[in-house]
Amino acid sequence: MESTEADQNIAARIADTIGIENRNGTVGGYQMLNCVKLFHKYLLAEVARIQGNFSGFGAAESGAVYIVRQVQNAITHFEKPASLKTGTANILDT
């Protein structure tokens, strides 16, 4: 599989954030948030790309959709902590 220029750009930006963390021992919350948002954007594009090739991929309860939803929930929780219900059961725990 050949990666696109956009994929390489995302990977480079994530690698830069990891490099900063390795040098400094930590990164700021918003730096990490931007890194996670980039990864989320990549995951959404990959799900859409694969769904375009395989119509059965990414059903509502699939692992791919679950992971993308969990990443989005983490982003939302960081940006607006009160917006998500606490104590909601995770489907993997049931």
Domain boundary assignment for the chain: 5-93
Predicted confidence band of residue 51 (pLDDT cuts 50, 70, 90): confident
Q: How many Å separate Cα 56 from the centre of its chain?
A: 22
Are the beta carbons of 33 and 79 closer than 8 angstroms? yes
Please give the pLDDT value at position 91. Answer: 61
Which is higher by pLDDT, 2 or 6?
6
Predicted confidence band of residue 57 (pLDDT cuts 50, 70, 90): confident
Please give the pLDDT value at position 42. Answer: 92
Q: How distant, in Å, are the alpha carbons of 8, 26, 32, 59 from that of 78?
A: 26, 17, 10, 27
pTM attached to this predicted model: 0.76
Please give the pLDDT value at position 72. Answer: 94
